[in-house]
Amino acid sequence: MYNCKRDNQIKNNEYLLKICAIGSGNTGKTLFIRKFAENKFDTNYLPTLGVDITTKKINVGNNQVKLILVDTAGQEFFGKLRPSYYRGASAGLIFCNINDRKSIEAIPNWLTEFEKHLSYRTHVPMGIVVIKGWKYSPRRRKKKEIKQSLTIRDRILNQCRVIFRRKSQHVLSTIKVSKRRRRNAEINSVSHLTNIQLVRYLADLNQMNLFCIRVDDCKAIEECFVSMARQVITR
């Protein structure tokens, strides 16, 4: 049986935890993590190419915790790339855009995908993050900017993106039809709820924490990760 303390503990009072940020595109995953780990803030939206991994050390009570933060791309054509990064996760955060109903209705799908590809059969702490006060303003990269910023990994992912786009329809087929119908029925039964009410309903239904945080509130962002880490350690 999976033992969180045994598998994640390096030394006495020292832990190594992996937290995955998942959710639809344009929900603020990268913005949230960069603000926490690097104290950088960019209101312009640039989609993540595949997966970005960042580390950050925090204190949880008397324990020192090193977080491995996995920022995953929400686009469908990265659907076959994401699951390999879910394995070994200690916790997960699902992001949604409060102004985008589809990103909220997709929360059960993200939860199913994440739990399906964990490397052990047990429940891990989960949370839903809603970023407040951020105007979603996507912009296109200039050709010169792309040429300067792309690494070898990014170039490979760009090539994979073409392949994954063609097979994006097959990603949804990996989910069992019966579960998908049940989820759709649950969402349809609460179609009268507002977006924020629906988020709270899904959080309560799946026993997940709900974090409504302003992206410039560094203290609240850190408390979010501390809260998730504390749940992992105390299990």
- Helical pair 218-233 and 29-37, crossing angle rounded to 10 deg: 90
Q: Which domain holds residue 82?
A: 4-233
pLDDT: is 136 or 84 the higher one?
84
Among candidate residues 86, 150, 93, the one with its CA nearest the CA of residue 118: 86
- What is the pLDDT, as a whole number, of residue 102? 92
Residue 33 and residue 31: Cα distance in Å, rounded?
6
CATH code of the domain covering residue 126: 3.40.50.300
Q: 10-56: per-residue pLDDT in tens?
A: 667 789 999 999 999 889 898 899 889 888 766 555 556 668 899 99
Number of domains the chain is built from: 1
pLDDT: is 80 or 112 the higher one?
112
Residue 121: is its pLDDT beyond 80?
no
Across the chain, mean pLDDT equals 79
